[in-house]
Every structure is written in C-alpha cells, then in structure tokens.
A and B are shown apart, each in its own frame.
Chain A
C-alpha cells in the first residue's frame, strides 16, 4: 500500500487513447445510415471491448480515468464539442446527442438518490415530466425568463418529491418501492385526466429564448448554417458538465461519505451519530432537483409534453440505465445512456423489439455482472492510495 501523501499518478495516455477511440466510434455510429453498417459497427464494438478486456487493456484505462479525471473530463468536453461541430447541420443527430446529454443529467440525479444514498426511486420519469410540464406552462402562460424556468422546474420537482418524504423515509425495501411506483402511476393518471394541463393531448412548449435570441430558429453565421438544435446542445452540455462536477464533488466530500455509510448499513450509521433522515431527505430532494431541471430543458427541446412520455415504463428505463452503467459510477452512466438512447434509434430493425432487448439486457447484466459495465471503484481515502 502506498503511503499517504505519495502521489503515484497513472499516465494520461491510456485514458486519452480510449477517449479518442470512443469519440471516433460514436461519431461513426451516429453518421452511419445503412443498417448493415450499423450492425457491423455494433459487432465490431462489442468484439473490441471483449478483446480489450481479455488482453487486460481496460485496467490502465480505468486507472487513468480515476487519477487524471480533471484532464480527461476537459478532453471529454472537447470531444463532445467536436461531435457537435461535425454534425452541426444534421437535425436528428443533434437531437439524439441532446437527448443523451439530458438523460445523463436525469440519471445522475437518480444516481445521487439510489447510487449514493440507497433511496429507491421508481418515479424518475415522473419528476422529469414535472420539470417538462413546468416549462410548458411557464413558457406558454408567463414571461418568466427561460433560465429561471429551468430552475423553477427543478425546484418544483424537488418540492413535489418532498410530499413523498414521509412514506419514503418510513419504509424500507419493497415497501419503499411501492411508494414511488404508486406515485408514478398516480401522476400519469392525474396528468391524463386533468384538462388544465392539456390532458392526454399534451401541451406544446414554446422554445427557449435567451436574451432575445430564440433557440428555435436556425442559426446562420456567415456561410455556416447550423441546425437550431445547436443552441440547445450548448446549454445541455453546460448543464451536464455542471451536474457531473456536482455529483463528483459530492461523492468525494464528507456528504458522499455520509450517504455511502447510510446506504451500506443504516443501523451502523445511526450508531455513529449520522442523522439518517436528514441525509436521505437531502439526497432525495437534490436528485429530484437535477431530474427536474433536465426535464424542463428537454421539454423545451422537444417542444411537446404529454402524459404518455412520462410513464412507469420510462422510469424503468432510467433505472436500467443506472444499473447497466454501474450504480454509483457517473462515467458508466454516460456510457450506458449512450447505448440505451442511440442504439435503438439507429438500429431501425430492432425499434419494435427495443423494450424486449432492454429488459433482457438488464436481466443478463443483473445475473452475470451485477456491478454493471463500469463498476464503481472503491473509495480512495487518501490521495495516491491504491486499494
């Protein structure tokens, strides 16, 4: 074991190489049109990962990401910007990318609740929907500045989540699951029968307007014509970066330590004087806040909200992203979101079968690799310490 204070940082280049390869792969996947190319690409990708695993190439990459997170994080942002720049005129690809970014934010929120604090939330899509409906209502009926609308969306989601606090705190395990499931169904039914919020027909959401510049118009700078989704792309990327940094700092701080303690053994945590209720509340509300903001922005991107977008099945998708990627690992989350969002859209032939495939994939993961694709690494208690 290395002594505390001794820095033995892993080199940067394995992580960098992996990042470049991944970016190139994602870019090609997004650009590919023919079904055969896509299937070939998928097969190639899976084979490459399995081969890398067998050749023990994945460990240096993991270490490099763990040690050089800040640098690699900045490089990832650059990579995402590159992808956005490459597809600057393609509406649909940009829409996919924005979807990935915003779903990642929502799943990060879920991660705080479930990955760190162990609070079950099967109503993730419902809070996402609350954020979306907030932006629909506020954008249509009031002149609240849109950035503020995002904030209000998050706060409203957190506030409605607080109504569930009492049952969530008092229940454990299966009983806790029922509370959020019942809430998910309740909200969907409520939105459907309530005419004020559009009922099953849903509502149109006016696009975002920042400082007088409407996001819904195509951008033309000189001879460059960009898809109007670019503006949303930048805002979503900003949101994801902020959420990611927040989650990471949270995890490494004493807040994260407390959450982990109460997740792993609640009784022991109580013995050590942790106020379990307070930490659960904070995790639950913070998670819902993030989910709400992501929902509010996504509502503006899609331009349309309807109760059918935010059903229990969609909440299950968010939970399966969390499981697939590795509970508690933000990087795994992003990878999983990419897979879950992009692959079915691209692979048209499996569009119909996508729920079946998700479910089977999650079952397989849970049976054979319950830690997920990128398991959460053990907490590093001292800088430079390697377990």
Chain B
C-alpha cells in the first residue's frame, strides 16, 4: 500500500478518533465527579447537532447567509444550549439520585437518552429522515498524489485538538479545574475545604455537554448529514472508549477514543473487502480488553470499604 493511501486511512482514523475522544472525555468527566455514567451523553450530542441545524435554518430564514457568521452562531447556540441541558439533567435527575444504587442511575440515564432521541425523531419536523447539514467550511482540497487533503478536515482536526488542549489547561491550571479534580477525588473533603459541590457538578456537566455539542457540529460538518440515531452509536463507542481508557482519567478517555478509531481503521485495512466487519472486530477487542483489564487500561484506583 502506498504512502498516499496510508495517509488517507490515517486521516480518516484521526477524524473518527477525535470525535470519539470528545464524547469519551465527557463520560469520564461525569464519572469522575459524580461516579455516574450518564448514558444520555451521546443523545445530547444529537440534540446539539439538531439545535445547530435549526439555528442555521433560522438564520437562513431571516436572511443571514454568510458562512463564518452562521457557523459561529450555530456553534455558540448549540454549545450554550447543550450546556444548559446538561446542567438541567444534572440538577433534576443525576444529583437527586446520588444515593440510589448505581444501576438505577445507569438505567435512568439510558432511558433519558432514549427520550431525547425519540423527542428529536418525533418533534423535529420530519425528524425520522436524515437531514443534510450545511457545508460551511471551505471546500478546497489539496491533492497529494493518492492522498486528498481536505482543508476542512484539517481545520476540524486542529479545532478538536485545540479544544482538548484547552480542556487540559482548564483542568490543570485553573481554579475551577482544581475544584473539579478535588470533587472527583473526594467529595466530602472537597466540601469541607469550602468548594461548592453543587456548583462544581453543574459546571462539569455543562462543560461535558458543551463538548458533546461541539462534537455534534463537527460530525455534521464531516458527513454533511445528521440523523436522529448518530448519538446512540457515538455514545456507545464513546462509552467503550472511556472504559477502555479507564474511567476517571481524561488522558485515558482520549487514548480510548483514538484507540477505538484505530481498531476500526485496522479492521478496514486488514479485511479490505469485508470492511463491514470492522465494527465486529473493534467491539470484540473491547470485550477482550475488558476481560484482561477489568477496570480499563489506565487502572481506576478504587478502594472498597467492606
């Protein structure tokens, strides 16, 4: 296989990996702070994507059709509204159920995800049909032999990387990040240190959901299409990626995301005419990893009081 083809595969893998990583980071943040798996995360992504689409349609309706402004507005509206949705979910569902058995929370968030997905399908006009997403980034591409480098893919990849770096900076260099890490480590002690637990939790959910909204818009721009079930697939993969990387570790989530994308790409390359098996291959590896390392590649440090 020549370098151009390889580069194309690598590029595809990187784009997928970035999207998975963004979702996985959200899962890990929520788990770290509240010990809860918020399964509806993937569907928050879907709602974010549809919100962006609705914003676009709205702006078009009132006559604003300038690419960068539309894109900026879509991102802003999607991110802010999803942040609000995330906080709402945290406040109304996740926080009150902190003392309930973990399974109940898992199931509630799973069902919540279904509610979000079905709401989009039923209440968005013709939600059951796939919807074209506007191509708002530059369409130019550079041909490097067999490898076709599209500038918009490059831009999205760069943006994704920046966001992840930004998140790391937020977590490690700011006071809010310090508060989040403190709460993730030990809730009681953090509270005694004067950290406003509820506020920190809400902020964390807001950040995670905002990341999901960003991933949703990127997804729409990449495929030029969104439909109501993209969240389910991405959510499960994001969750698996977070688990592989080890819940509670942001680096682990990013690693897991790119690893999963890598597995899918390897699956495609190794089985050229049966590339449909790539998902089977990837999930089988996930199960195998779970059998080998039950708490993920980057071990979660749990101590159980007996």
On A, residues with C-beta under 8 Å from B are: 120, 164, 166-167, 170-175, 177-179, 181-183, 185-186, 189-190, 192-193, 267-268, 312-313, 316, 319-320, 323, 352-353, 355-356, 358-360, 362-363, 366-367, 370
Q: In the docked arrangement, what's the CA distance between A97 and B273, Å?
A: 44
Q: Is the CB of A174 within 8 A of B283?
A: no
Does B142 make an interface contact (CB < 8 A)? no
Q: Is the CB of A353 within 8 A of B108?
A: no
Give 14 pairs: A residue, B residue, CB < 8 Å, sorted on A. Answer: A173-B103, A174-B106, A174-B243, A174-B247, A178-B286, A179-B290, A182-B283, A182-B287, A186-B280, A193-B280, A316-B114, A320-B111, A355-B118, A367-B96
Q: Is the CB of A353 within 8 A of B118?
A: yes
Q: Is the CB of A166 within 8 A of B291?
A: yes
* Neighbour of B287 across the interface among A177, A183, A363, CB < 8 A: A183
Q: Is the CB of A170 within 8 A of B280?
A: no
Q: Given the complex, which residues of B lie within 8 Å of A362, measured CB to CB?
A: 107-108, 111
Q: Given the complex, which residues of A lie within 8 Å of B236, measured CB to CB?
A: 181-182, 185, 312
13 further interface pairs, Cβ-Cβ under 8 Å (given A167-B288, A193-B274): A120-B103, A167-B290, A171-B294, A174-B106, A178-B239, A182-B286, A182-B290, A190-B277, A267-B306, A316-B114, A353-B122, A358-B114, A370-B100
- 9 cross-chain pairs, A with B, having the tightest CB-CB distances, nearest first: A359-B114, A193-B276, A356-B118, A186-B283, A167-B291, A359-B111, A170-B294, A166-B291, A167-B290
A321 → chain B closest CB, angstroms: 12
Q: In the docked arrangement, what's the CA distance between A355 and B43, Å?
A: 15
Does B304 make an interface contact (CB < 8 A)? yes
A346 → chain B closest CB, angstroms: 20
Does B279 make an interface contact (CB < 8 A)? yes
Q: Given the complex, which residues of A lie within 8 Å of B252, measured CB to CB?
A: none
Q: Given the complex, which residues of B lie within 8 Å of A313, measured CB to CB?
A: 114
Q: Given the complex, which residues of B lie within 8 Å of A359, measured CB to CB?
A: 111-112, 114-115, 118
Q: Using a CB-CB cutoff of 8 Å, which residues 262-305 of chain B contact chain A?
A: 274, 276-277, 279-280, 283-284, 286-288, 290-291, 294-296, 304
B109 → chain A closest CB, angstroms: 9
A195 → chain B closest CB, angstroms: 10
Q: Is the CB of A363 within 8 A of B283?
A: no
B246 → chain A closest CB, angstroms: 10
Q: In the docked arrangement, what's the CA distance between A367 and B304, Å?
A: 27
**Known pairs A175-B296, A319-B107; A186 contacts B122 (CB<8 A):** no
Q: In the docked arrangement, what's the CA distance between A320 and B37, Å?
A: 18
Number of CB contacts from chain A to chain B under 8 A: 120
Q: Given the complex, which residues of B lie within 8 Å of A170, measured CB to CB?
A: 290-291, 294
Q: Is the CB of B107 within 8 A of A186?
A: no
B293 → chain A closest CB, angstroms: 9
Q: Is the CB of B280 within 8 A of A356?
A: no
Q: In the docked arrangement, what's the CA distance between A2 and B274, Å?
A: 68
Nearest chain-A residue to B101 (Cβ)? A370
Q: In the docked arrangement, what's the CA distance between A86 and B287, Å?
A: 49
A271 → chain B closest CB, angstroms: 9
Does B110 make an interface contact (CB < 8 A)? yes
B117 → chain A closest CB, angstroms: 8
Q: Given the complex, which residues of A lie within 8 Å of B110, measured CB to CB?
A: 316
Q: Given the complex, which residues of B lie within 8 Å of A172, measured CB to CB?
A: 294
Q: Is the CB of A363 within 8 A of B112?
A: yes
Nearest chain-B residue to A165 (Cβ)? B291
Does B198 make an interface contact (CB < 8 A)? no
* Neighbour of A183 across the interface among B100, B106, B119, B283, CB < 8 A: B283
Does B240 make an interface contact (CB < 8 A)? yes
B98-132 near A? 1/0 per residue, CB < 8 Å:
00101110111011101100110010000000000
Nearest chain-A residue to B36 (Cβ)? A174
Q: In the docked arrangement, what's the CA distance between A359 and B108, Å?
A: 8
Nearest chain-B residue to A353 (Cβ)? B122
A344 → chain B closest CB, angstroms: 13
Q: In the docked arrangement, what's the CA distance between A319 and B108, Å?
A: 12
